[in-house]
Copies of this chain bind each other. A is one copy, B any other.
Amino acid sequence: MLVASDRRGIASHGTARLPNYIALIEAGVMDPAARPVVDGGRPALTRFDARNGWGHHAGRVAMDAAIEAAGQLGLAAATIRNTNHFGIAGWYALRAAAAGLIGISLSNTSPLVAPTRARQPLIGTNPIALAAPAGRFGSFCLDMATSTIPRGRIEVAARRGELLPVGWAIDSEGRAATTPEAALDGALHPLGGAEATGGHKGYGLALAVDLLTGVLAGASFGPNIVGLFSTDGPSDLGQTFIVIDPAAVDAAGAFEARLERYLGQLVAAPTVPDAPGRVLVPGEPEADAERRSDVRGAMLDTVHAERLIELGDRYGIAFPVASPA
Protein backbone atom coordinates (compact mmCIF):
# COMPACT_ATOMS: atom_id res chain seq x y z
CA MET A 1 0.00 0.00 0.00
CA LEU A 2 2.92 2.34 0.63
CA VAL A 3 4.20 1.62 -2.88
CA ALA A 4 0.69 2.11 -4.29
CA SER A 5 0.67 5.53 -2.65
CA ASP A 6 4.05 6.46 -4.19
CA ARG A 7 2.77 5.28 -7.56
CA ARG A 8 -0.24 7.60 -7.24
CA GLY A 9 2.11 10.50 -6.54
CA ILE A 10 1.16 10.78 -2.85
CA ALA A 11 4.67 10.57 -1.36
CA SER A 12 3.47 11.83 2.04
CA HIS A 13 1.62 8.53 2.61
CA GLY A 14 4.05 6.25 0.77
CA THR A 15 7.31 4.45 1.50
CA ALA A 16 8.68 7.71 2.97
CA ARG A 17 6.57 6.79 6.02
CA LEU A 18 8.13 3.36 6.49
CA PRO A 19 10.79 4.62 8.95
CA ASN A 20 7.97 6.18 11.02
CA TYR A 21 6.06 2.91 11.24
CA ILE A 22 9.25 1.03 12.14
CA ALA A 23 9.93 3.59 14.90
CA LEU A 24 6.48 2.85 16.37
CA ILE A 25 7.21 -0.88 16.28
CA GLU A 26 10.69 -0.49 17.78
CA ALA A 27 9.22 1.63 20.60
CA GLY A 28 6.64 -1.10 21.31
CA VAL A 29 3.80 1.32 20.49
CA MET A 30 2.41 -0.72 17.54
CA ASP A 31 2.26 -4.52 17.34
CA PRO A 32 3.27 -5.66 13.85
CA ALA A 33 2.22 -9.27 14.50
CA ALA A 34 -1.35 -8.42 15.55
CA ARG A 35 -4.20 -9.42 13.26
CA PRO A 36 -7.73 -7.95 13.29
CA VAL A 37 -10.56 -9.95 14.86
CA VAL A 38 -14.32 -9.60 14.48
CA ASP A 39 -15.67 -7.85 17.55
CA GLY A 40 -19.46 -7.72 17.24
CA GLY A 41 -21.98 -6.58 14.67
CA ARG A 42 -25.10 -7.42 12.70
CA PRO A 43 -25.31 -8.63 9.09
CA ALA A 44 -24.69 -5.22 7.44
CA LEU A 45 -22.35 -3.69 10.05
CA THR A 46 -19.34 -5.50 11.53
CA ARG A 47 -16.90 -4.18 14.10
CA PHE A 48 -13.28 -5.28 14.05
CA ASP A 49 -10.67 -4.89 16.76
CA ALA A 50 -7.32 -4.38 15.00
CA ARG A 51 -5.50 -5.18 18.26
CA ASN A 52 -3.13 -2.28 17.62
CA GLY A 53 -1.65 -3.88 14.50
CA TRP A 54 -0.96 -2.40 11.06
CA GLY A 55 -3.75 -0.06 10.00
CA HIS A 56 -3.17 -0.96 6.36
CA HIS A 57 -3.75 -4.66 6.94
CA ALA A 58 -6.79 -4.23 9.18
CA GLY A 59 -8.27 -1.77 6.69
CA ARG A 60 -7.93 -4.23 3.83
CA VAL A 61 -9.52 -7.01 5.88
CA ALA A 62 -12.43 -4.76 6.92
CA MET A 63 -13.00 -3.40 3.41
CA ASP A 64 -13.03 -6.94 2.00
CA ALA A 65 -15.60 -7.97 4.61
CA ALA A 66 -17.80 -5.01 3.61
CA ILE A 67 -17.39 -5.82 -0.10
CA GLU A 68 -18.48 -9.41 0.47
CA ALA A 69 -21.50 -8.48 2.59
CA ALA A 70 -22.60 -5.73 0.18
CA GLY A 71 -22.81 -8.31 -2.60
CA GLN A 72 -25.52 -10.07 -0.58
CA LEU A 73 -27.26 -7.16 1.11
CA GLY A 74 -26.78 -4.28 -1.35
CA LEU A 75 -25.04 -2.20 1.33
CA ALA A 76 -22.65 -3.12 4.13
CA ALA A 77 -20.02 -1.54 6.35
CA ALA A 78 -17.20 -2.47 8.68
CA THR A 79 -15.78 -0.30 11.42
CA ILE A 80 -12.44 -0.83 13.20
CA ARG A 81 -11.21 0.23 16.61
CA ASN A 82 -7.77 0.00 18.16
CA THR A 83 -6.09 0.53 14.80
CA ASN A 84 -3.29 2.66 13.33
CA HIS A 85 -2.67 4.96 10.35
CA PHE A 86 -3.93 3.23 7.19
CA GLY A 87 -2.18 5.31 4.53
CA ILE A 88 -4.26 6.75 1.68
CA ALA A 89 -8.00 6.47 2.29
CA GLY A 90 -8.58 6.20 -1.46
CA TRP A 91 -6.85 2.80 -1.69
CA TYR A 92 -9.68 1.07 0.18
CA ALA A 93 -12.43 2.90 -1.72
CA LEU A 94 -10.75 2.01 -5.02
CA ARG A 95 -10.71 -1.66 -4.00
CA ALA A 96 -14.52 -1.55 -3.95
CA ALA A 97 -14.63 0.39 -7.24
CA ALA A 98 -12.46 -2.28 -8.89
CA ALA A 99 -15.18 -4.78 -7.91
CA GLY A 100 -17.85 -2.62 -9.61
CA LEU A 101 -19.08 -1.15 -6.32
CA ILE A 102 -19.21 2.25 -4.64
CA GLY A 103 -16.65 2.33 -1.82
CA ILE A 104 -16.34 4.82 1.02
CA SER A 105 -13.44 4.93 3.44
CA LEU A 106 -13.15 7.17 6.51
CA SER A 107 -10.58 7.60 9.27
CA ASN A 108 -9.98 9.84 12.22
CA THR A 109 -6.43 11.17 12.64
CA SER A 110 -4.14 13.25 14.87
CA PRO A 111 -5.77 16.47 16.21
CA LEU A 112 -4.38 19.21 13.93
CA VAL A 113 -7.51 21.22 13.04
CA ALA A 114 -9.14 23.97 15.11
CA PRO A 115 -12.95 23.76 15.21
CA THR A 116 -14.61 26.96 14.03
CA ARG A 117 -14.16 29.61 16.79
CA ALA A 118 -11.58 27.49 18.72
CA ARG A 119 -7.92 28.47 18.77
CA GLN A 120 -6.49 25.01 19.48
CA PRO A 121 -6.18 21.91 17.30
CA LEU A 122 -8.82 19.51 18.64
CA ILE A 123 -9.95 17.45 15.66
CA GLY A 124 -8.19 15.53 12.90
CA THR A 125 -7.83 16.21 9.21
CA ASN A 126 -10.22 13.22 9.06
CA PRO A 127 -10.23 12.09 5.42
CA ILE A 128 -13.21 11.10 3.30
CA ALA A 129 -12.66 8.88 0.26
CA LEU A 130 -15.37 7.77 -2.15
CA ALA A 131 -14.69 5.77 -5.30
CA ALA A 132 -16.83 4.23 -8.03
CA PRO A 133 -16.37 2.68 -11.46
CA ALA A 134 -16.67 5.38 -14.14
CA GLY A 135 -16.43 3.79 -17.61
CA ARG A 136 -13.91 5.55 -19.89
CA PHE A 137 -12.87 7.71 -16.92
CA GLY A 138 -11.59 4.62 -15.10
CA SER A 139 -12.53 5.29 -11.49
CA PHE A 140 -14.05 8.29 -9.80
CA CYS A 141 -11.95 8.69 -6.63
CA LEU A 142 -12.51 11.59 -4.28
CA ASP A 143 -9.87 11.34 -1.53
CA MET A 144 -9.75 14.46 0.61
CA ALA A 145 -8.77 15.63 4.04
CA THR A 146 -11.52 17.73 5.65
CA SER A 147 -8.99 20.50 6.38
CA THR A 148 -8.30 23.13 3.68
CA ILE A 149 -4.81 21.72 3.20
CA PRO A 150 -2.75 18.99 4.91
CA ARG A 151 -0.10 19.96 7.48
CA GLY A 152 2.54 18.69 5.03
CA ARG A 153 1.62 21.51 2.62
CA ILE A 154 2.59 24.05 5.30
CA GLU A 155 5.90 22.26 5.82
CA VAL A 156 6.50 22.57 2.06
CA ALA A 157 5.70 26.32 2.24
CA ALA A 158 8.20 26.65 5.11
CA ARG A 159 10.96 25.02 3.03
CA ARG A 160 10.13 27.27 0.08
CA GLY A 161 9.87 30.45 2.21
CA GLU A 162 6.30 31.10 0.97
CA LEU A 163 3.59 33.14 2.68
CA LEU A 164 0.20 31.46 3.27
CA PRO A 165 -3.18 32.46 1.83
CA VAL A 166 -5.91 33.33 4.34
CA GLY A 167 -8.07 30.25 4.94
CA TRP A 168 -5.30 27.70 5.47
CA ALA A 169 -4.41 28.04 9.14
CA ILE A 170 -4.45 30.10 12.34
CA ASP A 171 -1.56 31.03 14.66
CA SER A 172 -1.32 30.09 18.34
CA GLU A 173 -3.41 33.16 19.29
CA GLY A 174 -6.18 32.22 16.85
CA ARG A 175 -5.47 34.89 14.22
CA ALA A 176 -5.09 34.10 10.49
CA ALA A 177 -1.58 32.65 10.05
CA THR A 178 0.30 34.33 7.21
CA THR A 179 3.65 32.53 7.66
CA PRO A 180 4.29 28.77 7.76
CA GLU A 181 6.06 29.16 11.12
CA ALA A 182 2.99 30.78 12.69
CA ALA A 183 0.75 28.08 11.23
CA LEU A 184 2.93 25.24 12.53
CA ASP A 185 2.61 26.71 16.06
CA GLY A 186 -1.14 27.10 15.58
CA ALA A 187 -3.75 24.91 13.90
CA LEU A 188 -5.14 24.10 10.47
CA HIS A 189 -8.44 25.56 9.33
CA PRO A 190 -11.20 23.12 8.41
CA LEU A 191 -12.25 23.14 4.74
CA GLY A 192 -13.86 26.52 4.05
CA GLY A 193 -11.40 28.48 6.22
CA ALA A 194 -12.93 31.03 8.59
CA GLU A 195 -16.62 31.18 9.53
CA ALA A 196 -17.54 33.78 6.84
CA THR A 197 -16.34 31.48 4.09
CA GLY A 198 -18.05 28.34 5.38
CA GLY A 199 -15.35 26.90 7.67
CA HIS A 200 -18.06 25.69 10.04
CA LYS A 201 -19.07 23.23 7.28
CA GLY A 202 -15.56 21.77 7.11
CA TYR A 203 -15.57 21.59 10.92
CA GLY A 204 -18.90 19.76 10.80
CA LEU A 205 -17.61 17.34 8.18
CA ALA A 206 -14.47 16.56 10.18
CA LEU A 207 -16.63 15.94 13.22
CA ALA A 208 -19.06 13.77 11.21
CA VAL A 209 -16.13 11.61 10.06
CA ASP A 210 -14.98 11.20 13.67
CA LEU A 211 -18.54 10.32 14.71
CA LEU A 212 -18.66 7.57 12.03
CA THR A 213 -15.20 6.22 12.92
CA GLY A 214 -13.75 6.73 16.40
CA VAL A 215 -17.04 7.44 18.20
CA LEU A 216 -18.94 4.65 16.42
CA ALA A 217 -16.18 2.04 16.71
CA GLY A 218 -15.41 2.80 20.36
CA ALA A 219 -11.89 3.97 19.50
CA SER A 220 -10.26 7.24 20.54
CA PHE A 221 -11.50 10.52 19.02
CA GLY A 222 -10.80 14.22 18.63
CA PRO A 223 -8.38 15.79 21.11
CA ASN A 224 -7.80 12.44 22.85
CA ILE A 225 -5.91 10.88 19.94
CA VAL A 226 -2.16 10.43 20.47
CA GLY A 227 -0.43 11.67 17.27
CA LEU A 228 -0.20 8.94 14.61
CA PHE A 229 3.59 8.91 14.56
CA SER A 230 4.16 9.72 18.21
CA THR A 231 5.87 7.06 20.33
CA ASP A 232 4.01 8.31 23.43
CA GLY A 233 1.45 5.55 23.05
CA PRO A 234 -0.96 3.81 20.67
CA SER A 235 -3.26 6.10 18.62
CA ASP A 236 -6.32 3.80 18.94
CA LEU A 237 -7.78 5.16 15.69
CA GLY A 238 -11.23 4.41 14.32
CA GLN A 239 -11.85 3.67 10.64
CA THR A 240 -15.02 2.84 8.73
CA PHE A 241 -15.58 1.32 5.30
CA ILE A 242 -18.96 1.45 3.55
CA VAL A 243 -19.80 -0.39 0.32
CA ILE A 244 -22.85 -0.05 -1.94
CA ASP A 245 -23.65 -2.39 -4.81
CA PRO A 246 -25.47 -0.26 -7.43
CA ALA A 247 -26.67 -3.46 -9.13
CA ALA A 248 -28.93 -3.96 -6.08
CA VAL A 249 -31.27 -1.28 -7.41
CA ASP A 250 -30.73 -1.17 -11.18
CA ALA A 251 -29.49 -3.19 -14.17
CA ALA A 252 -25.81 -4.16 -14.05
CA GLY A 253 -23.73 -1.39 -15.63
CA ALA A 254 -26.51 1.23 -15.57
CA PHE A 255 -24.95 3.17 -12.70
CA GLU A 256 -21.52 3.20 -14.34
CA ALA A 257 -22.96 4.36 -17.68
CA ARG A 258 -24.76 7.26 -15.97
CA LEU A 259 -21.63 8.29 -14.06
CA GLU A 260 -19.58 8.19 -17.28
CA ARG A 261 -22.14 10.40 -19.04
CA TYR A 262 -22.17 12.86 -16.13
CA LEU A 263 -18.36 13.15 -15.97
CA GLY A 264 -18.30 13.61 -19.75
CA GLN A 265 -20.60 16.61 -19.37
CA LEU A 266 -18.36 18.12 -16.67
CA VAL A 267 -14.98 17.76 -18.40
CA ALA A 268 -16.41 19.40 -21.56
CA ALA A 269 -17.49 22.57 -19.68
CA PRO A 270 -16.10 26.00 -20.69
CA THR A 271 -13.44 27.04 -18.18
CA VAL A 272 -12.66 30.13 -16.10
CA PRO A 273 -10.03 32.54 -17.55
CA ASP A 274 -7.19 31.45 -15.23
CA ALA A 275 -7.91 27.68 -15.34
CA PRO A 276 -4.71 25.62 -15.68
CA GLY A 277 -6.64 23.10 -17.81
CA ARG A 278 -10.08 21.52 -18.25
CA VAL A 279 -12.37 20.47 -15.43
CA LEU A 280 -10.98 17.38 -13.70
CA VAL A 281 -12.62 14.22 -12.43
CA PRO A 282 -11.78 13.61 -8.74
CA GLY A 283 -8.80 11.24 -8.65
CA GLU A 284 -7.67 12.04 -12.19
CA PRO A 285 -4.25 13.55 -11.24
CA GLU A 286 -3.48 10.47 -9.12
CA ALA A 287 -4.57 8.07 -11.88
CA ASP A 288 -2.30 9.98 -14.32
CA ALA A 289 0.60 9.64 -11.87
CA GLU A 290 -0.10 5.91 -11.65
CA ARG A 291 0.10 5.57 -15.44
CA ARG A 292 3.40 7.46 -15.48
CA SER A 293 4.69 5.12 -12.75
CA ASP A 294 3.83 2.15 -14.95
CA VAL A 295 6.29 3.54 -17.49
CA ARG A 296 9.11 5.01 -15.45
CA GLY A 297 8.58 3.60 -11.95
CA ALA A 298 7.60 5.55 -8.85
CA MET A 299 9.86 8.53 -8.13
CA LEU A 300 11.43 8.88 -4.66
CA ASP A 301 13.35 11.96 -3.61
CA THR A 302 17.00 11.48 -2.60
CA VAL A 303 16.62 12.00 1.17
CA HIS A 304 13.74 9.57 1.23
CA ALA A 305 15.59 6.90 -0.80
CA GLU A 306 18.64 7.24 1.48
CA ARG A 307 16.50 6.70 4.57
CA LEU A 308 15.00 3.54 3.09
CA ILE A 309 18.48 2.22 2.22
CA GLU A 310 19.66 2.94 5.80
CA LEU A 311 16.60 1.17 7.19
CA GLY A 312 17.25 -1.80 4.90
CA ASP A 313 20.89 -1.94 6.00
CA ARG A 314 19.81 -1.99 9.63
CA TYR A 315 17.49 -4.96 9.00
CA GLY A 316 19.73 -6.69 6.42
CA ILE A 317 17.27 -6.15 3.54
CA ALA A 318 18.57 -4.87 0.18
CA PHE A 319 16.79 -1.87 -1.40
CA PRO A 320 14.58 -3.66 -3.94
CA VAL A 321 14.87 -1.30 -6.93
CA ALA A 322 17.14 -1.28 -9.98
CA SER A 323 19.07 1.93 -10.61
CA PRO A 324 17.25 4.34 -12.96
CA ALA A 325 18.07 3.60 -16.61
Interface set of A (CB-CB < 8 Å, partner B): 39-47, 70, 72-77, 79, 102, 114-120, 122-123, 128, 130, 132, 140, 142, 144, 146, 148-149, 165, 167-168, 170, 173-175, 191-193, 196-198, 200-205, 207-208, 210-212, 215-218, 221-224, 242, 244-246, 248-250, 254-255, 258-259, 262, 265-266, 269-273, 275-280, 282
Say yes or no: B204 contacts A282, CB within 8 Å: yes
**Roughly how many angstroms separate A278 CA and B118 CA in the complex, as a whole number?**
8
* Interfacial chain B residues near A165, Cβ < 8 Å: 196-197
- List 20 interface pairs A-B (beta carbons < 8 Å), by A numbering: A40-B248, A42-B72, A42-B248, A44-B44, A45-B249, A75-B242, A77-B244, A102-B211, A114-B272, A118-B266, A118-B269, A119-B271, A122-B269, A128-B205, A144-B205, A148-B198, A170-B272, A215-B262, A218-B255, A224-B265
A282 — which chain B residues lie within 8 A by C-beta?
A: 200, 203-204, 207-208
Copies of this protein in the complex: 2
Query: A201-B191, A280-B116 given as contacts; is B211 within 8 A of A140 (CB)?
Result: yes
CB-contact partner of A266 in B79, B115, B148, B212, under 8 A: B115
Whether A118 pairs with B272 at a CB distance below 8 angstroms is yes
**How far does the Cβ of A193 sit from chain B's closest Cβ, in whole Å?**
6
Check B118–A258 contact: CB distance below 8 A. no
Please judge, given known A-B contacts A192-B191, A205-B142, A221-B258, whether A272 and B175 are in contact too, CB under 8 Å.
yes
**Looking across the interface, which residue of chain B has its beta carbon closest to that of A121?**
B269
Closest to A123 in B: B266
What residues of chain B lie closer than 8 Å to A114, measured between beta carbons?
A: 272
Contacts of A193 in B (CB 8 A): 167, 192-193, 197
A120 to chain B, nearest CB (A): 6
Closest to A203 in B: B282
